[in-house]
Amino acid sequence: MKHHIEHLLLSAVAELQRTHELTDAPCRDGGSCASMRSPHLGILPGAQVPQAGDVQARPPMRIAVERTRDRNHGEFASNIAMTLAKAARCKPRDLAEKIVAMLPASDKITKVEIAGPGFINFYMAPMAFQGVITDVLAAGARYGRSTVGANRSVQVEFVSANPTGPLHVGHGRGAAYGAAVADLLEAVGYTVHREYYVNDAGRQMDILGASVWLRYLELCGESLVFPANGYKGEYVRGIAAKLYQQQGDNLRHPGAVVMQDLPLDEPAGGDKEDHIDALIARAKHLLGAPAYRQMFDLGLNDILDDIRDDLREFGVNYEAWYSERSLYESGAVDRAVDRLKASGHMYEQDGALWFRSTDYGDEKDRVVVRDNGQKTYFAADIAYHMDKLERGFERVIDVWGADHHGYVPRVKAALTAMGYDASRLDVLLVQFAILYSGGEKMQMSTRSGEFVTLRELRHEVGNDAARFFYVLRKCEQHLDFDLDLAKSQSSDNPVYYIQYAHARICSVIRQLQEKALHWNETQGRSSLDLLQESHEQALMLALSRYPEVLESAALNHDPHQLAHFLRDLANDFHTYYNAHMFIVDDAALRNARLNLIIATRQALHNGLTLLGVSAPETM
C-alpha cells in the first residue's frame, strides 16, 4: 500500500509538470524545478516519474511516504509538498492542494487531507487492508519479496575468523548477522555471493603451528614450558594427538634444543611476542619447510573443517571459502603493491615500504612491506579487496568485528589510491556478544582456551534461539545474550513467542480437520468484509507492513527490524486468538478468519526463514 501511494504521488507530480502547474523556475542547484530533482539516496522503492504526453523522462524521485503514528490522522502521510515547495516557489500547503487535486482515483483510499504546514495524509479504505490477506495467500513464500535490487550483484563476506580455534559465541553474532543480511538482500532482488576469507597465511597461523608442535613434543615425552602467547585450548592437544598418530617420533627434537637461546618469555621478564616469533623460527628451522608445512596444514584443515561443520549446522552457508594464501600464490599481493607504488602514494622509510594513507584521512601511514621484505597482513587485505572488485561485484559488504573499526579508513584509502570507487565497499561493524548465564558473564578468550564455543551455545539453547537472539539489536550495539531467557518457554522469550504463534495457527487447522470441516479459501476471500473486529483490523494492518519492513531491513542492513516486526505480529495474533473463536458455525465468517490467520502464518514463516529460524507446527 505504501508503494501504491508513492505511485499516485508520482503520477500527480508528472501531471502537474505536464500542465505546467509546476513552473520551470530555477532551483537552488541551478537546475529546473520542473525536473523535481532531489538527492538520490539509494534504490528507490517507487518507479521513475511517469511520462505524460511529450514530457521528458525525469530522474527518479525519492518519495517520502511514512505510516502515521496516530491513525486518527490517516494511515499514511507524505511530506512531498514541503520537499518540493522551495524549488517550485510555492507555499507548501498550496503545492499540497495542487498535488491532491491531481491524484488519480483509487478505491483503496477513502480520504486525503492536508495537515499542518503541508503534510498530505491518506486514509485507507477497509478493503485496502482486507486485500492484503489475498495478496499473502496468493504470493505464499514469496510474499514481501521485491525486485528493488534486481540485476545488481553484492558480495557479503562475514565471519572470516582466523582458523586458530573453534568459533566462539562472539563469532556467532557475526555469522547470524551476516547470513541474515545476505538473505535479506537476496529477498529484495540482489544477486548475492557469500564468502568466508580464510586467513591461512598469517602470523596467527604460525603461532597455532608452533603450539601444536609443542603439544606434540610433550606427547613424545619432552618437557617444555608452554609459551604465554601460545594457543592453550584442549583442541590444540587434539590436533597434536593426530600429528603424533601420523608421525610417531619423526618430528621429535629435544626440548633443550627447541628452547635453546630463545628470548625470554613474558613470565620470565621478557617479551612474549619476541619469544613466540623466535619459537616459530626455531620450528621452521628444525623441521624444514616440507614437515613444517605438513604440520601447519594439519592444524589449519582440522580447525577449518570444524568451522565449516559448525556454521553449516548453524544454517550458515557460503558460495566460496577464499584462501589468503592463494593471493600470494597467484601474485595478487605483488600486483596490489605495484599498483600502490604506481599511484605515487608509497614511500620507503627505515627499509620498509609505507602507504601514505594519511593522504586519504587515515590517522597515520601504514606499512605494506616490512624491512625484512615480508608483506604485512594489510598488503594481503588490499589485494583481497582489489580482487573482489575485479571479480565484478557492484557492491562489497564486509562484516567485521567492532575492534576492526580503525581498519576501515586504510582499506578504503588503498582502494581509492588504486583508482577504485571506495564507496562500493560497505563495512558493517558488529559489536561483541557477551554471554550471561545465571546473571554471570562468561569468558571468551581464544588464546587462553577459556571460552564458550558457538557449538556449545547451540547445543545449550538451540539454533533457533541463537540465530534470533543474535539479530535482536543493531549490529553496532553491544549484545548481552541471556542464556536463561533463550532457553525459557515463555512469552518473555521472543523466539518462543513467535514460533508459538505459528504453531497455534497450525493447531487451529488440525482442530478444523478433527471437526471434519475444511478451509474454503474462495469463500473466505469473498467474505473478508466480515472482518470488522479491532483485533482483525490490527492484524491486517500488521500484515500490510511486512513488505515495507523487509525492504527496509534489507536496504539498511538491519535484520533486527524484521525480528521486532515478527514479535509484534505474533503479539497481534496471540491477542486475537485469546479474544475470538476461529472455528465458528458461520461458514463465511469462519473461512474469512481462517484466511486471515493462515496469511499470518505465512508471514511468520517467511520472516523466520529469512532470519534462519524454523517455523514449527507443534510446540
* Domain boundaries, given as residue ranges, for the chain: 2-124, 136-141+492-610, 203-305, 332-398+417-428
End-to-end CA distance of the chain: 34
**Per-residue pLDDT, 272:** 95
**Per-residue pLDDT, 350:** 92
pTM of the model: 0.87
Give backbone dihedrals phi and psi of 308, rounded to 5 degrees, phi first: -60, -50
Convert the pLDDT of each residue in 340-396 to its tens digit.
999 999 999 999 999 999 999 899 999 999 998 889 999 999 999 999 999 999 999
Q: Among the residues of 53-202, which ranges form H helices?
A: 80-88, 92-101, 126-139, 169-187
**Per-residue pLDDT, 387:** 97
Torsion 542-544-546-549 (CA) sign: negative
- Residues paired with 77 in a beta bridge: 66, 121
| Residues 433-471: b if buried by 16+ CB within 10 A, e if exposed | bbbeeeeeebebebbeeebbbbbebbeebbbbbbbbbbb
* HSE of 401, CA atoms in CB hemisphere, 13 A: 12
**Per-residue pLDDT, 484:** 93
Give the separation between CA 138 and CA 136, rounded to whole angstroms: 5
**Per-residue pLDDT, 299:** 95
Query: Which uninterrupted H or E stretch holds 110?
Result: strand 109-115
Residue 168: DSSP 8-state: B
DSSP for 414-483, written as a single string: HHHHTT--GGGEEEEEEPPEEEEETTEE--EETTTTEE-BHHHHHHHH-HHHHHHHHTSS-TTS-EEEEH
CATH architecture, range 136-141+492-610:
Orthogonal Bundle (1.10)
Convert the pLDDT of each residue in 58-80 to its tens digit.
334 567 899 998 888 999 999 99
Give me the residues of the chain with pLDDT under 50, please.
24-60, 446
Burial class (CB in 10 A: 0-12, 13-18, 19+), 39: exposed
3-state secondary structure of 13: helix
Give the separation between CA 496 and CA 436, rounded to whole angstroms: 19
Q: Please determine, looking at this structure, whether the domain spanning 2-124 carries the CATH number 3.30.1360.
A: yes
Cα distances (angstroms) measured from residue 143 to each of 66, 67, 139, 600, 615: 21, 20, 5, 11, 16
